[in-house]
Amino acid sequence: MTHPQIAFYEAKLAYETDPADVQAALAAGKKWLLVDARSTDAYARETIPGALSIPHRTMNTETTACLPRDHLIVTFCDGIGCNGSTHGALALARLGFNVKEMLGGIDWWKRDGYATTASPGSVSALACGCSGEGTEAAEEAGLPLGEPVPGWKGARVPEPVVLQGVFCRLEPFDTDRHASSLRAALAEDQRAEGWTYLMDPPADEAAFAAWCAGMTASQDPVFYAIVDPQNGEALGVASYLRIDPANGVIEVGWLHFSPKLQRTRAATEAMYLMMRQAFAWGYRRYEWKCNRLNAPSMAAARRLGFSYEGTFRQARVDRGRNRDTAWFSVLDGEWPKLSAAFEQWLAPENFDEAGRQRVSLSSLTAAALPGR
């Protein structure tokens, strides 16, 4: 039987409010609770003080366990034309909550002169650490639960920083600065083998420019050019993607290394710098995924210290072909040992006069994390 809240909401009866009413209710001490129904990225940039973050697409019994049943839940998003708060309110109504949707979202909230704040000034319900009735009941019943993550407030959204190394420099990708040298570097791969598991290679200069423009504009993935520090030329690209600050998960991917970059200290250092930065931003899990048939990528993940976690069969249809996706990860607790392995490998004394390594990175990462 349909919950009456749903029928009322779908009929648009009395389930809308505005910033002034919300502010007045909060000032009067009423049991109203704001829920930011936008993405975690938007929430991390700016939200309303005291709001919980539950993106409307993730609303379910588990992610709403922190919400008090005796409160009126008020959803909001960016503003007029953004329907995330509508979807969120309907989802919450279906879960049995009393709901209202705040018209105009953050836009009208600021228009009316009310303050906003950036995370972590607010709390994410996806990572707030509260147990809720369900968790308490599970504990009482002796059911196994995950380890607590005390004080967890989420990771930082990636910022446009330059990652400076000895053999390379990673710069936020910019078409004007990087496209020309990147195209020249990738053109040295005359058989276009580097594109095999990535995408169809751009057909001409215009298509390449469009690809570069897309990388420049993208917010997820966040693309970096891997640059030769001696001449500033881009030799490859890499990205952070599937960025989930609320849960502390981030992936490295969209790697495309030119022949000049492949199998060099610069290539390894680039991966070290990106991994180090991800953990510096507070991420708990750093992922690597690839086509199960991509043997070089599978080997690279293991060499870099990632632990193989299994294969998702028939995970995608990629350009008309099946793709089984292999999953790898490094956890924050593993990073100190892996970091030491990278630094030992990159040290000048690990290379002879001809530039040949004395100790392989594979042996160092295997010793750092045995049995993975």
- Residues 231-256 have a mean pLDDT of 96
Which domain-ending residue is among 110, 129, 148?
A: 129
- Please tell me the predicted confidence (pLDDT) of residue 102: 92
Q: Indicate whether 242 and 117 sit together in one domain.
A: no
pLDDT above 70 covers what percent of the chain?
89
Query: Are 230 and 117 in the same domain?
Result: no
CA distance 267 to 279: 19
Is residue 347 included in any domain, yes or no?
Answer: yes
The answer to whether position 118 is within a domain reads: yes
Q: In the structure, what pLDDT confidence band is assigned to residue 139 with cuts at 50, 70 and 90? A: low
Q: Domains in the chain: how many in total?
A: 2
- Over residues 243-262, mean pLDDT: 96
pLDDT value of residue 16: 82
pLDDT at 300: 98
Contacts for 348 with CB less than 8 Å, ≥ 6 apart? none
Q: What is the pLDDT of residue 12?
A: 43
Tell whether the model's pLDDT for residue 65 goes beyond 50.
Answer: yes
Asked if residue 135 is part of any domain, the answer here is: no
Same domain membership, residue 95 and residue 192: no
Give yes or no: residues 273 and 321 share one domain.
Answer: yes
- Tell me which of 92-106, 181-195, 255-269 is least confident: 92-106
Are 196 and 92 in the same domain? no
Which tops the pLDDT comparison, 187 or 83?
187
79 and 36 within one domain: yes
Cα–Cα distance measured from residue 356 to residue 328, given in angstroms and rounded to the nearest whole number:
28
Q: Are residues 303 and 203 in the same domain?
A: yes
What's the rounded mean pLDDT across residues 326-347? Answer: 98
Following CA atoms 238, 240, 241, 247 in sequence, which dihedral angle do they give, to the nearest 10 degrees?
A: 160
Q: Evaluate if residue 121 carries a pLDDT over 50.
A: no
Q: How many CA atoms lie within 13 A of 137 on its CB side?
A: 4
Is 141's pLDDT higher than 80? Answer: no
| More confidently predicted of 60 and 187 | 187
Residues 172, 60 share a domain:
no
pLDDT at residue 133 in the model: 45
| pLDDT(363) > 90 | yes
pLDDT at 9: 46
3-state secondary structure (DSSP) of residue 311? strand
Which has the minimum average pLDDT: 4-13, 14-23, 277-286, 317-326?
4-13
- The identity of residue 179, as a single letter, is A
Check whether residue 229 and residue 327 sit in a common domain.
yes
Residue 142 lies in a domain: no
Residues 103 and 170 in one domain: no
343 occurs within a structural domain: yes
The helix (H) or strand (E) run that includes residue 265 is: helix 265-280
Same domain, 209 and 300: yes
Compute how many other C-beta atoms are within 10 angstroms of the C-beta atom of residue 199.
Answer: 12
Average pLDDT over residues 121-126: 46
Give mean pLDDT, residues 313-327.
Answer: 95
Tell me: pLDDT of 14 over 60.
no
pLDDT digits (tens, 9 = 90+) for 34-44: 999 988 878 88
SS (H, E, C) 93-128: HHCCCEEEEECCHHHHHHHCCCCCECCCCCECCCCC
Lowest mean pLDDT: which of 11-25, 78-92, 323-337?
A: 11-25
Contact, 339 vs 365, CB < 8 A? no
Residue 132: the pLDDT is: 45
Within a domain: residue 210? yes
Q: What per-residue confidence (pLDDT) applies to 221?
A: 94
Better-scored residue on pLDDT, 16 or 102: 102
Q: How confident is the model at residue 214 (pLDDT cuts 50, 70, 90)?
A: very high
Look over the chain and give the mean of its residue pLDDT values, rounded to a whole number.
89
Could you tell me the CA-to-CA distances from 93 to 56, 83, 290 in Å, in that order?
12, 16, 39
Checking if the pLDDT of 66 tops 90, the result is: no
Give me the sheet containing 307-318, strands edge to edge.
163-164, 169-172, 222-227, 234-244, 249-257, 285-291, 321-331, 307-318
Task: Tell me the CATH number at 14.
Answer: 3.40.250.10
- pLDDT at residue 3, rounded to an integer: 53
311: CATH = 3.40.630.30
> In this structure, is residue 149 part of a structural domain?
no
Percent of the chain with pLDDT over 90: 67
As a whole number, mean pLDDT of residues 321-333 equals 97
Whether 316 maps to a domain, the answer reads: yes
Which amino acid, residue 314? Answer: Q
319: containing domain:
163-368
pLDDT (0 to 100) of residue 120: 47
Same domain, yes or no, for 314 and 252?
A: yes
Q: Of 76, 110, 129, which residue is a domain's last?
A: 129
Look at residue 338 and tell me whether its pLDDT is greater than 70: yes
